[in-house]
């Protein structure tokens, strides 16, 4: 099938066609026998990904439909080529979505594309000597997202967005070590500078310059905050002997009153560009303090052994569950609250995923009165929303010097 025919059948516009045109001839040459469409391959790597048998059966059904569409199969091979074989490899975000496919086939298309990279991951782990249990734990994340797809759409599969996320697992950029996932290649580009008092050991974060905060000391968000009244803008000034700025309290609220730190006594320990380990939390059950502490300990050892050159300074995490407003609605024993208290919170922009994460992807379409209220978190979050609250994003850091996890180093 010609490139023009694939473009037409896939419904791509000129720009999209131009994006995927490179390497068409190279992928044409190798497009005969697609190894990752073979049942044996799929069963082997789906077992590594811990895909449930009933989900795998649905994938096979969708694969039969997909295989009857020659243009889709050719596109699938071309995308595999661009991701894993091309001289200049693509990242999934560069691939135009396979939009003409039905949801089940589309789910199968992205599932197969991700699975087709799993042998790369196995080879990488062998080459680098990463432990086999880390390989299994990391690659099993696919099953979480296949389940998610099933819950949202009624059949097993993956979205193009999740293909992008799983690429990090395949290329050794994300590792699950115990309960949590960690990304080693991250730089601290957040909007605080962190200082430590060399005499007392106290840690203090200062806001970056020029950020607007609301009256409460949360980042001013035009989509949430009704007006600019009471809001204020942060300032941060350095002199050779001091730094003056707006302190961020460890619970993430920023104060409008400025303070000056004597830099003879307060050393900067974290700022823009510093190497940090980014934490993610997969949906695999509760995250107890013990599990997180164990996971953080494993991560430190793993990074020291396999990424010593990166010289990480801190863990960082950005998430809907780091919204400091949860303190108002959840009890002190909630794992979310205990997770927040393990680190130093600070404001982080971007829309919070709380509503979809707590009530499901379609929650935005439900009225406030129809939100599911089964778990205590759902009840508390629904009450917060009904009273007019809006969830915000949040972030936290934990300096590696301040481990162990859970010692509440930053709070009195």
24: exposed, middle or buried (Cβ count in 10 Å: 0-12, 13-18, 19+): middle
In the complex with ligand COA, the residue whose CB is nearer, 51 or 377, is 377
Helix and strand numbers (H, E) in the chain are: 16, 15
Is residue 357 involved in binding ligand COA (CB under 6 A)? yes
The total number of residues shown for the chain amounts to 412
CA distance 35 to 45: 12
In the complex, the smallest distance separating the C-beta of residue 263 from ligand COA, rounded to whole angstroms, is 34
Give, as ranges, the residues between 322 and 341 that touch ligand COA (CB under 6 A). Answer: 330, 334-336
In the complex with ligand COA, the residue whose CB is nearer, 115 or 330, is 330
CA distance 196 to 257: 19
In the complex, the smallest distance separating the C-beta of residue 321 from ligand COA, rounded to whole angstroms, is 5
Torsion of CA 227, 228, 231, 233, to 10 degrees: 150
Number of residues that bind ligand COA (CB under 6 A): 17
Interface residue with ligand COA among 133, 370, 376, 408 (CB under 6 A) is 376
CA distance 342 to 325: 16
In the complex with ligand COA, the residue whose CB is nearer, 263 or 335, is 335
Tokens of 368: 């406030």
Give, as ranges, the residues between 95 and 124 that touch ligand COA (CB under 6 A). Answer: none
CA distance 288 to 334: 9
CA distance 123 to 242: 51
In the complex with ligand COA, the residue whose CB is nearer, 236 or 382, is 382
- Report the half-sphere exposure of 192 (CA within 13 A, side-chain side): 29
CA distance 185 to 202: 28
In the complex with ligand COA, the residue whose CB is nearer, 249 or 281, is 281
Interface residue with ligand COA among 286, 308, 332, 388 (CB under 6 A) is 286
In the complex, the smallest distance separating the C-beta of residue 339 from ligand COA, rounded to whole angstroms, is 8
Q: Which residues of 300-319 are buried (b: 16+ CB within 10 A; e: fewer)?
A: bebbeebbeeeebbbbbbbb
In the complex with ligand COA, the residue whose CB is nearer, 231 or 378, is 378
In the complex with ligand COA, the residue whose CB is nearer, 146 or 330, is 330
CA distance 204 to 247: 7
Q: Are 180 and 335 in contact (CB under 8 A)?
A: no
CA distance 354 to 334: 16
Give, as ranges, the residues between 288 and 317 that touch ligand COA (CB under 6 A). Answer: none
In the complex, the smallest distance separating the C-beta of residue 225 from ligand COA, rounded to whole angstroms, is 23
In the complex, the smallest distance separating the C-beta of residue 340 from ligand COA, rounded to whole angstroms, is 10
In the complex, the smallest distance separating the C-beta of residue 381 from ligand COA, rounded to whole angstroms, is 8
Going by C-alpha positions, the residue among 43, 59, 272 that lies closest to residue 155 is 59
Interface residue with ligand COA among 287, 292, 296, 385 (CB under 6 A) is 287
In the complex, the smallest distance separating the C-beta of residue 244 from ligand COA, rounded to whole angstroms, is 33
Interface residue with ligand COA among 233, 283, 366, 368 (CB under 6 A) is 283
Tokens of 366: 């439900």
Is residue 32 involved in binding ligand COA (CB under 6 A)? no
Is residue 378 involved in binding ligand COA (CB under 6 A)? yes
In the complex, the smallest distance separating the C-beta of residue 375 from ligand COA, rounded to whole angstroms, is 3
Select from 104-112, 193-201, 245-253, 318-326 the region that touches ligand COA (CB under 6 A): 318-326
Is residue 264 involved in binding ligand COA (CB under 6 A)? no
Interface residue with ligand COA among 71, 281, 289, 310 (CB under 6 A) is 281
Is residue 393 involved in binding ligand COA (CB under 6 A)? no
Which residues, other chains included, contact 204 with Cβ-Cβ below 8 Å and sequence gap of 6+?
A: 194, 195, 196, 197, 247, 261, 266
Interface residue with ligand COA among 75, 270, 358, 399 (CB under 6 A) is 358
Which residues, other chains included, contact 403 with Cβ-Cβ below 8 Å and sequence gap of 6+?
A: 296, 297, 300
By the criterion CB under 6 A, which residues form the site for ligand COA? Answer: 281, 283, 286-287, 319-321, 330, 334-336, 357-358, 375-378
């Amino acid at each position: 099938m010609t490139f023009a025919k694939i473009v037409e059948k896939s419904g791509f516009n000129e720009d999209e066609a131009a994006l995927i045109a490179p390497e068409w001839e190279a992928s044409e040459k190798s497009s005969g026998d697609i190894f990752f469409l073979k049942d044996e391959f799929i069963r082997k790597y789906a077992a590594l990904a811990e895909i449930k048998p009933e989900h795998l059966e649905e994938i096979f059904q969708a694969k039969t439909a997909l295989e009857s569409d020659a243009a889709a199969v050719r596109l699938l091979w071309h995308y595999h080529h661009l991701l894993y074989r091309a001289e200049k490899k693509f990242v999934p975000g560069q691939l135009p979505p396979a939009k003409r496919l039905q949801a089940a086939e589309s789910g199968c298309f992205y599932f197969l594309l991700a699975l087709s990279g799993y042998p790369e991951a196995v080879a990488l782990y062998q080459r680098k000597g990463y432990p086999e249990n880390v390989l299994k734990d990391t690659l099993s994340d696919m099953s979480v997202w296949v389940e998610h797809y099933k819950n949202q759409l009624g059949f097993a599969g993956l979205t193009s967005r999740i293909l992008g996320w799983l690429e990090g697992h395949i290329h050794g950029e994300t590792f699950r070590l115990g309960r949590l996932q960690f990304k080693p290649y991250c730089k601290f580009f957040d909007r605080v500078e962190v200082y430590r008092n060399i005499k007392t050991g106290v840690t203090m974060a200062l806001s970056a310059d020029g950020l607007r905060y609301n009256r409460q000391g949360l980042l001013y968000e035009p989509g949430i905050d009704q007006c600019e009244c009471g809001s204020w803008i942060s300032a941060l000034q350095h002199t050779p002997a001091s730094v003056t700025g707006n302190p961020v309290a460890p619970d993430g609220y920023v104060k409008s009153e400025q303070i000056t730190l004597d830099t003879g006594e307060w050393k900067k320990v974290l700022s823009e560009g510093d190497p940090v380990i980014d934490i993610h939390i997969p949906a695999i059950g509760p995250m107890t303090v013990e599990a997180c502490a164990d996971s953080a300990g494993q991560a430190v050892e793993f990074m020291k052994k396999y990424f010593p050159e990166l010289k990480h300074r801190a863990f960082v995490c950005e998430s809907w569950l780091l919204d400091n407003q949860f303190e108002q609605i959840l009890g002190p024993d909630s794992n979310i609250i205990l997770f927040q208290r393990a680190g130093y919170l600070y404001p982080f922009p971007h829309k919070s995923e709380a509503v979809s994460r707590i009530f499901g992807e379609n929650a935005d379409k439900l009225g406030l009165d129809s939100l599911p209220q089964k778990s205590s978190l759902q009840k508390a979050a629904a009450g917060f929303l009904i009273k007019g609250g809006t969830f915000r994003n949040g972030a936290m850091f934990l300096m590696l010097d301040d481990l162990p996890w859970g010692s509440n180093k930053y709070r009195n």
